[in-house]
Amino acid sequence: MAISISQLTADTQDALSDLAEFAERVGLPFVVRSARRTCEKQRSLYAMGRSAPGGIVTNADGCQSWHVLGRAVDINLPQGATRADYEKLGLEWESMGGHWGGRFTGLDDVGHFEWHPGVTIEEVCPDPSACESVVAETLNSSGFRGLPWLGMAAIGMLSAVAMVKWKGT
């Protein structure tokens, strides 16, 4: 199933398109399996393996996930892909200025790609329990805690829903 990337920030969409072109060239077309999430969805994922059944799937609670701010995606490569295949895309993503989940400490998330050059999540969301207010402030402001790209990028989150699916699924 293809996931809409229309709620990602415009610059994240652009970077993801560049990665998709690279992936096609090297024979590793991918499908986006997760993009922007609500605060509620992120909290439920964070609860897994903690206060809810299942294994731990994320170390990010509330707005401390770039998914909530429309600046992260999770992808799947075709069946049979290896960690080295994901690493090839991760290295390209990093060369573009992004952050790759294969480098996370304590959670090897090779299919996770974030786009927030030069900004940390702690600068954006110091308190994960304030998720809704952080997202609301981002969407209703031309600037956000000294980070004007968030307010401007919110326009990308408000765009019409469009389904995107890359070849090879």
Please indicate, yes or no, if residue 1 is contained in any of the structural domains.
no
Place of tokens 């075709």: 78
Asked if 30 and 37 count as a contact pair (C-beta separation under 8 A), the reply is no
What per-residue confidence (pLDDT) applies to 138?
A: 66
Residue range of the domain that includes 75? 10-157
Please indicate, yes or no, if residue 3 is contained in any of the structural domains.
no
Q: What's CA 78's distance to the chain center, in Å?
A: 19
Q: What's CA 37's distance to the chain center, in Å?
A: 9
Task: Give the span between the Cα atoms of 141 and 136, in whole angstroms.
Answer: 8
Span 21-75, pLDDT tens digits: 999 999 999 999 999 999 999 999 999 999 999 999 999 998 899 999 999 999 9
Residue 161 has pLDDT above 50, yes or no: no
CATH number at residue 77: 3.30.1380.10
pTM of the full structure:
0.80
Please indicate, yes or no, if residue 107 is contained in any of the structural domains.
yes
Span 89-110, pLDDT tens digits: 999 999 999 999 999 998 899 9
**What's the structural domain count of the chain?**
1
